[in-house]
Chain A
Amino acid sequence: MLAIEVKNLYKNYYSTKSGNFAGIGRPDLTEDTNPNSPLGVGGISFQVNRGEIFGIIGPDGAGKTTLFRILTTLILANSGTASVDGYDVVKDYKEIRKRVGYMPGRFSLYQDLTVEENLNFFATVFNTTIEENYELVKDIYQQIEPFKKRRAGKLSGGMKQKLALSCALIHKPSVLFLDEPTTGVDPVSRKEFWGMLKKLKDQGITILVSTPYMDEASLCDRIALIQNGQFLKIDTPKNIISQYKNKLWAVQSDTMYKLLTDLRANESTKNCFAFGDKHHVSIDNEDITMENLKEIIEKLGHKNVSVREIEPTIEDCFMQLSQG
C-alpha cells in the first residue's frame, strides 16, 4: 500500500486582494468553461512509497503548504482525490488524523505550557503517554529535556523546532508531514535536523517534507520540484541531475561581476547564473570546447580564468526546468 497517493488534485483560492491564482494545479486547464472537456486534468498527481523521505521543493508561494493542508485533512481540494495510508482525505479524515504527525511551518505549540506539558498534552490528545513512545522521540527529546520546565514561548528557535518535532511524533504516526521545518534555520542546525529525519526513516516512518532550500534535495529519496502550483519534475535527485540538458561549466576570473555580463553576451551561452564563487554557464553549442571559451573570456581582458566541467546541482536543474 502506498503511504500517500494523490490524483489530479486541484485547489484554487483566488486571493481576495489580487484576484490572482493561489493554490495547486493549473486553473487554465481545470476551470474550463467548456462543458464537454473533462474537469480536473490540470491537477497534480504523485505517490509516496512507504518508508520514503519525499521532498517537496520550491519557493514561497509555490503551493507547498496548500498541498500539506489538504493531505492533513485541514482544507478541502476543489477536485481530485488524495489518500494517506490508504484512507481518503475527505471520507476518512478522522482515521487520517489519528495516523499522521504534522509540523506546520509556523510554530504552533502552546507558548504558555512548558516543554513537558506540551509533549504530555499531545500524547494525551492521541490517547497515549510519553512513556509508551519514548523510544521514538528519545534522540530528539533528550536534547531539550534539560529545559523541560521552561515555557515553550521562552525556547530558542532550534529548541522549539525539536519540541515541535517531538510533539508531532509522540503518537507514533505512520506518516510525518513537515512543512518547511528548516526555513530560517542556519546551515549547521539544518544538517542536524536532516540527521534526525534519517533516523526516523530508519524506524520506518514515511516523511513528506517541504523546503525552499535546494541543497536539501539530495537528502531525500525522491523529490518533486514545485513552482506556481505545478510540479516541474518528480524523480530521485540523481535522475533529475542526470536529465539536465546541455553542458554545464563553472567559470571563474578575477572580475566576477563583469564576467557574468560577458558570459551572458556569449552566443554559445544558453544561460549563466552566479553560484557562490563561480558562475555556472550552460552551453547550447556542441562544437565549443572549454579551451575555446577560456580564450574568448581571456580576450575580453579577464585574468586568472578557469573553466571546468561540473555536475549540475538541483538548483541548476530547477532553474532550467522553470525556464521551460
Chain B
Amino acid sequence: MDNKIQQSTNIVITAENLTKRFGHFTAVDNISFEVKRGEIFGFLGANGAGKTTAMRMLCGLSIPTSGNGIVAGYDIENQTELVKKSIGYMSQKFSLYDDLKVWENIELFGGIYGMKDKEIKEKTDELMKVLNFENERDKRVGSLPLGFKQKLAFSVSIFHNPQVVFLDEPTGGVDPITRRQFWELIYDASSKGITVFVTTHYMDEAEYCNRVSIMVDGRIEALDSPKNLKNQFNATSMDEVFQQLARKSTRKAD
C-alpha cells in the first residue's frame, strides 16, 4: 500500500475527471487540473460551488464517486492514510486547541504526524524565533489574539514539512495588517517548496496566487494566472473576473 504512484516530479496534485455525487446532486462535476510543486494555487468559487467537497476528496476525507486523484504521490481513493500523512491542513474554524499552551499544541500536532521528540523540540525553538513568539510559548492559545492564532495555526500545519498544505479560508475576519503578514508566511512556505492550495473570499488575495481556478456549479470554469484571467475576461481585477463567472451560476444550493 505504500507504493508511490508515478507522478511527474514537479506535479504534486493531479485531479482527473474528479466527481462527487450525493444522491442526485452532483457537488463536484468532472474536474481536472494539476498543481505544481511550490505553487500557490487559489481555489475560488461562490458558496456552494463545490470547493469544500473537492478539497475534502483531495485530503483523503471523502471518496470520489468517479475519477482519479493523486496527492503527493498517493491515490486519494486507496491510499487515504498516506495522503493525510503527506499534507497539512488549516481552516478558519478548526486550527488549534485553545486550552493547550502554544508549545503543547506544537508538540501534539508534531507527535500526531510522527515526528521525533528531539526534532519537535529543535523546530519549536526555531519557529518561536521566526514568529517572534518566544514570550507566548507558555501561554494558552485561547488567550492569543486571532491574528496570532492564525499565524501559529499555519506554522503548525506545515510543521511536519508536508508536501502540500490545504488552507480553507485562513484569513477570514483577520485584521488587514495581520492578513498581509499571513500571506508573507505563505510566500515563505512556497519558496521552501511547499505547495499551497488555498481558498479565500478576499479577491485581492486571489491576486497573490500563481494560478487561480474558479468553480461554478461544481465545474472549473476558469484556470490560469491572475494576469491571464484578467486579460481573458477583459477585467481590471480578480473581483471583476469572479463576478462575471459566478453570476453564471444556476445552482441555488450552498
Contacts and interface: CB of A to CB of B under 8 A. Distances in A.
Note whether A and B form a binding pair: yes
Interface of A: 15, 17-20, 58-62, 155-160, 183-189, 191, 212-214, 227, 257, 260, 273-277, 315, 318-319, 322-323
Interface string B129-161: 000000000011011111100000000000000
Given A60-B146, A184-B47, A189-B47, 4 more contacts: A18-B139, A19-B143, A59-B173, A187-B243
Interface of B: 45-48, 92, 98-99, 139-140, 142-147, 169, 172-178, 180, 183-184, 187, 201-204, 206-208, 226-227, 237-239, 242-243, 246-247, 249, 252-254
A156 B204 contact: no
Contact of A186 (B143, B183, B246, B253): B246
B175 A276 contact: no
A20 B204 CA distance: 32
B147 A191 contact: no
Contact of B177 (A186, A187, A273): A273
Nearest to A214: B176
B224 to A, nearest CB: 14
Contacts of B246: 186-188
A191 B243 contact: yes
B207 A277 contact: yes
A276 B201 contact: no
A315 B176 contact: yes
A223 to B, nearest CB: 14
B172 A157 contact: no
Contact of B242 (A58, A159, A187, A275): A187
B176 A189 contact: no
Nearest to B253: A156
B165 to A, nearest CB: 18
B174 A59 contact: yes
Given A15-B143, A59-B147, A159-B252, A188 B174 contact: no
B48 A276 contact: no
Q: Closest 5 interchain pairs by CB?
A: A156-B254, A18-B143, A59-B175, A60-B173, A276-B204
Contacts of B176: 59, 214, 273, 315, 318-319, 322
Contacts of A184: 47, 92, 169, 172, 201
B173 A20 contact: no
Given A156-B254, A157-B254, A189 B46 contact: yes
Nearest to B139: A18
Contact of B174 (A60, A186, A257): A60
Given A59-B147, A156-B253, A191-B243, A185 B204 contact: no
Contact of B173 (A183, A274, A275): A183
A17 B239 contact: no
A186 B145 contact: no
A59 B148 CA distance: 13
Contact of B252 (A17, A156, A260): A156
Nearest to B45: A186
14 contacts: A18-B139, A59-B174, A60-B146, A155-B254, A158-B254, A159-B252, A183-B172, A187-B239, A188-B246, A257-B187, A276-B206, A276-B208, A277-B207, A277-B226
Contact of A156 (B47, B184, B206): B47
A157 B47 CA distance: 7
Nearest to B246: A188
Contacts of A160: 254
Interface centre among B45, B140, B202 (most CB of A within 10 A): B202
Given A19-B143, A274-B208, A276-B207, A158 B48 contact: yes
Contacts of B172: 183-184, 212
B177 to A, nearest CB: 6
B145 A61 contact: yes
Contacts of B142: 15, 17-18
B173 A159 contact: no
B226 A273 contact: no
B147 to A, nearest CB: 7
Nearest to B187: A257
Given A186-B45, A187-B243, A227 B175 contact: yes
Given A158-B254, A184-B172, A188-B246, A17 B140 contact: yes
B48 to A, nearest CB: 5
A230 to B, nearest CB: 13
Given A59-B147, A189-B46, A277-B207, A17 B175 contact: no
Contacts of A319: 176-177
A188 B177 contact: no
Contacts of B238: 276
Contacts of A212: 172-174
A95 B243 CA distance: 42
Given A183-B173, A187-B246, A227-B175, A158 B47 contact: yes
Contacts of B47: 156-158, 184-186, 189
A61 B146 contact: yes
B54 to A, nearest CB: 15
Contacts of B180: 273-274
Q: Which among B92, B175, B246 has the highest number of chain A CB atoms within 10 Å? A: B175
